[in-house]
């Protein structure tokens, strides 16, 4: 077990951690200021949390109050979170990508009395809806704004207002922590959902602590590790794994400037662990393959031979052992190819953790061959979130691993994955009907996912229960594995399968334009606008060949018969993706209904 301290609540964890490392120069967090990553040490963070705690106290925040938080990843997110929890209040995190109307629903449903936002853009959303949220008493903005409205407080103001009280009551945090119980509500996280209004998932301190302790038992994290954080902290995956678990093991967390700067920030920070979603690995893989295709033929042969050696080396390590000849070939591959790829991640990566969506098997095998292991896990917001995960010394690509210690998993008669244990939520806030539907009388959480447990206990996800297609011929089709089959193609950026209650399957495809432009240049295809490529006969033939090659082992009723290349991607902004980067299937089908009908008419 790699926990640096013991604890039963999140405030107790923070207190014990900052006690242990109070006099160390090693940073707890790092963030970029004026072009350089600057450290935030344990003592400094403790002081700022205490000051903000007293500042919130002066604003009237008390036990049980709801404090909403709309911000990108930054140290102020953590300061707010900890100060709120020391009050016995409840953190209500909101994705900064959500609209004013979506934020209004969450604030009203949660009954938030305070909202803390990051910048002018987020503040403008609150200003539009403030009068429509009767419970809202105070608005705090993290950035200093010259034109800040009179009824908005700055983060620095709230800190300063609590400074003298912190001096007079230096043990206030310790006294407050003693009143927080494991069963107390810690957070309400509103799931983005693919239809309808979001539901508020209630997670207690005990929920989080059970998941932190279980995760720390299977993933080696220590005070020598540095994590690069870029997934949103408002999502439970990053909050539990990349924040709570990481710091409870003594690791340093560095905040990326944005999702666009992750590659650059990895070179600066040189992280040892990165928590990500499959989309990152798809982009890295496609970028690497595009660069390889630009190389001379001899370099391409060296690269592909090295990957073959890496895969053979990985298999041998797990089976019969590595012989001297294979070891020598692998050393050469590492010197010629793998070492250069590893340097692009900073050169110190021990492993990646992947969650949030299914990791295509071929991506896992490719990165393993290079020497960059991806450990895939699985969970839900409702389960705090991790249910199962692979281990560094016991993993299986295509599966999400073994259940975490202390967690029960079973498969229902209809194939749905059920889980039970201390990680299961308290329920949905203000929604007893939905709670009763999700958690049965025996305490089993119905995940809504379809899966199987293999003979060794590894869990395999096949699809979402509500996403299963039934063809007009009566065949059951799970779209997710088929979509994942195409996700690794260098020419395909996004892929949505269509076919429920239809005679055959079709697909909406967002191509990877960089790959298409490179292919066009190589094959003498001319165009004025890259979007023209989506209708070019040679490009359509290329995608057709890609699809046929990848689906050759599928049953006939699982094969894609027709497809359409789209000019625009599915995004959060156009309402076709959730803030946690999942496709809103119904929204996509509604938006492209004429295109879809055209594929079936033709």
Q: Which domains does the chain have, with CATH numbers?
A: 10-180+219-272 (3.40.50.12780), 278-347+349-465 (3.40.50.12780), 468-601 (3.30.300.30)
Given this model, what pLDDT does residue 194 score? 47
Question: What does the alpha-carbon distance between residue 598 and residue 323 come to, in Å, rounded to a whole number?
Answer: 57
DSSP secondary structure string, 227-282? EEE-S-TTSHHIIIIIIIIHHHTT-EEEE-S-GGGHHHHHHHH--SEEEE-HHHHH
Question: What does the alpha-carbon distance between residue 358 and residue 418 come to, in Å, rounded to a whole number?
Answer: 18
Number of alpha carbons in the 13 Å side-chain half-sphere of residue 315: 9
- Residues 479, 497 contacting (CB under 8 angstroms): yes
- DSSP-derived letter for residue 577 is B
Given this model, what pLDDT does residue 192 score? 66
Given this model, what pLDDT does residue 586 score? 87
Given this model, what pLDDT does residue 501 score? 81
Question: What does the alpha-carbon distance between residue 227 and residue 318 come to, in Å, rounded to a whole number?
Answer: 27
- Residues 9, 209 contacting (CB under 8 angstroms): yes
Which phi-psi region, left, alpha or beta, contains residue 549 (left: φ > 0; alpha: ψ -120 to 50)? alpha
Given this model, what pLDDT does residue 196 score? 63
Given this model, what pLDDT does residue 578 score? 82
Residue ranges for the chain with pLDDT beneath 50: 194
Q: Give the rounded distance of the alpha carbon of 75 from its chain centre.
A: 19
Supply φ then ψ for residue 350, to 5 degrees. -90, -40
- Residues 386, 423 contacting (CB under 8 angstroms): yes
- Residues 109, 102 contacting (CB under 8 angstroms): no
Q: Give the rounded distance of the alpha carbon of 171 from its chain centre.
A: 36
E strand segments, 13-65: 27-33, 36-41
List pLDDT tens digits, range 84-107.
999 999 999 999 988 899 899 999
Which residue has tokens 């008493």?
A: 137
Question: What does the alpha-carbon distance between residue 84 and residue 546 come to, in Å, rounded to a whole number?
Answer: 52
- Nearest Cα to Cα of residue 76 among 138, 151, 157, 7: 157
């Amino acid at each position: 077990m790699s926990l640096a301290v013991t604890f039963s609540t999140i405030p107790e964890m923070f207190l014990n951690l900052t006690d242990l490392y109070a006099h160390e120069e090693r940073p707890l967090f790092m963030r970029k200021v004026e072009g350089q990553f600057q450290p935030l040490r344990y003592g400094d963070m403790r002081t700022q949390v205490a000051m903000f705690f007293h500042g919130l106290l002066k604003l009237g925040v008390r036990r049980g109050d709801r404090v909403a938080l709309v911000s990108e990843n930054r140290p102020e997110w953590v300061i707010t979170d900890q100060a709120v929890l020391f009050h016995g209040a409840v953190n209500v995190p909101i994705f900064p990508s959500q609209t004013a109307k979506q934020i209004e629903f969450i604030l009203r449903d949660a009954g938030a009395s305070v909202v803390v936002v990051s910048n002018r853009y987020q503040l403008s959303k609150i200003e539009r809806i403030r009068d429509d949220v009767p419970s809202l008493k105070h608005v705090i903005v993290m950035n200093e704004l010259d034109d800040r409205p009179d009824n908005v407080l700055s983060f620095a103001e709230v800190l300063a207002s609590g400074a003298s009280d912190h001096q007079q009551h230096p043990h206030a945090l310790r006294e407050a922590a003693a009143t927080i119980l494991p069963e107390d509500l810690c957070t309400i996280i509103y799931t983005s959902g693919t239809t309808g209004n979001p539901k508020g998932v209630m997670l207690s301190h005990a929920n989080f602590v059970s998941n932190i302790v279980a995760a720390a038992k299977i993933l080696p994290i220590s005070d020598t590790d540095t994590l690069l954080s870029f997934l949103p902290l408002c999502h439970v995956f990053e909050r539990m794994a990349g924040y709570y678990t990481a710091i409870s093991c003594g690791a340093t967390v560095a905040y990326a400037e944005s999702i666009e700067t992750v590659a650059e920030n990895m070179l600066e920070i040189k992280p040892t662990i990165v928590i990500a979603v499959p989309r990152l690995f798809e982009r890295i893989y496609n970028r690497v393959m595009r660069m390889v295709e630009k190389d001379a033929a001899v370099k391409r042969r060296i690269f592909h031979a090295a990957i073959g050696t890496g895969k053979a080396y990985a298999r041998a390590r797990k089976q019969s052992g590595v012989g001297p000849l294979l070891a020598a070939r692998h050393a050469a591959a590492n010197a010629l190819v793998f070492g250069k790829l590893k340097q692009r991640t900073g050169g110190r990566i021990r492993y990646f953790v992947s969650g949030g969506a299914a990791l295509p098997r071929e991506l896992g095998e490719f990165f393993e061959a290079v020497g960059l292991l991806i450990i895939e896990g699985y969970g839900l917001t409702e389960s705090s979130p991790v249910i199962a995960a692979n281990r560094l010394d016991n993993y299986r690509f295509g599966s999400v691993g073994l259940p975490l210690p202390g967690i029960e998993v079973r498969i229902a008669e209809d194939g749905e994955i059920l889980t039970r244990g201390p990680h299961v939520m308290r329920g949905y806030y203000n929604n007893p009907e939905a709670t009763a539907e999700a958690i049965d009388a025996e305490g089993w959480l119905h995940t809504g996912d379809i899966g199987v447990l293999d003979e060794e206990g590894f869990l395999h996800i096949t699809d979402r229960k509500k996403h299963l297609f039934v063809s007009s011929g009566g065949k059951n089709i799970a779209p997710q594995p088929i979509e994942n089959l195409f996700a690794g193609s260098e020419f395909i950026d996004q892929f949505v399968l269509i076919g429920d209650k239809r005679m055959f399957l079709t697909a909406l495809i967002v191509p990877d334009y960089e790959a298409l432009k490179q292919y066009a240049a190589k094959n003498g295809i001319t165009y004025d606008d890259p979007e023209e490529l989506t209708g070019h006969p040679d490009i359509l033939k290329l995608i057709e060949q890609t699809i046929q090659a990848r689906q050759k082992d599928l049953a006939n009723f699982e094969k894609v018969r027709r497809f359409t290349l789209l000019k625009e991607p599915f995004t959060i902004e156009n309402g076709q993706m959730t803030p946690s980067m999942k496709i809103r299937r119904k929204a996509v089908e509604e938006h492209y209904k004429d295109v879809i009908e055209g594929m079936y008419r033709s």
